[in-house]
Amino acid sequence: MTEQTKNTVITWRDRNAVVHPAGDVVAASVPELRSALREALANGVLDMAIDFAGVSMVDSTGLGLLISAHNSISKAGGKLAVIHASKEILDLFRSMRIHQHFSVSQTGGEQQ
């Protein structure tokens, strides 16, 4: 099943969701993405992957949203992962040690 919240697309498989942000995860786009993530949590998602294939930049507001999403999903017993991150975003997450809290990969799976 696929849902679309404005420009953010969520693909569902059972209680797993893949969220496809509609571009960069920056202050201007965070409200829409936050709504999509809250909707997924309200629908009982246990494992959520945020697909960064179309993301080239993340700012501090976006990082805060990802950490908040991780905390909320963990509290519910689930897991968060960022997949298809660019090398630059992966390097940013490593330098900030974000990858120690949830999986971040350049592919669709294993942690880098």
Torsion angle defined by CA atoms of residues 96, 99, 104 and 109, in that order, rounded to the nearest 10 degrees? 160
Element (H, E) at 112: none
Where exactly are the structural domains of the chain?
2-104
pLDDT tens series, the chain, 112 aa: 555 456 889 898 888 999 999 899 999 999 999 999 998 899 889 999 999 999 999 999 999 999 999 999 999 999 999 999 999 999 999 999 998 999 999 987 644 4
Q: Which residue has the tokens 């992962």?
A: 81
CATH 3.30.750.24 fits 2-104, yes or no: yes
d(CA 106, CA 20): 15
Q: Is the pTM of this model over 0.85?
A: yes
Burial of residue 5, with CB atoms counted within 10 A of its CB: 0-12 exposed, 13-18 middle, 19 or more buried: middle
DSSP SS3 for 108: coil
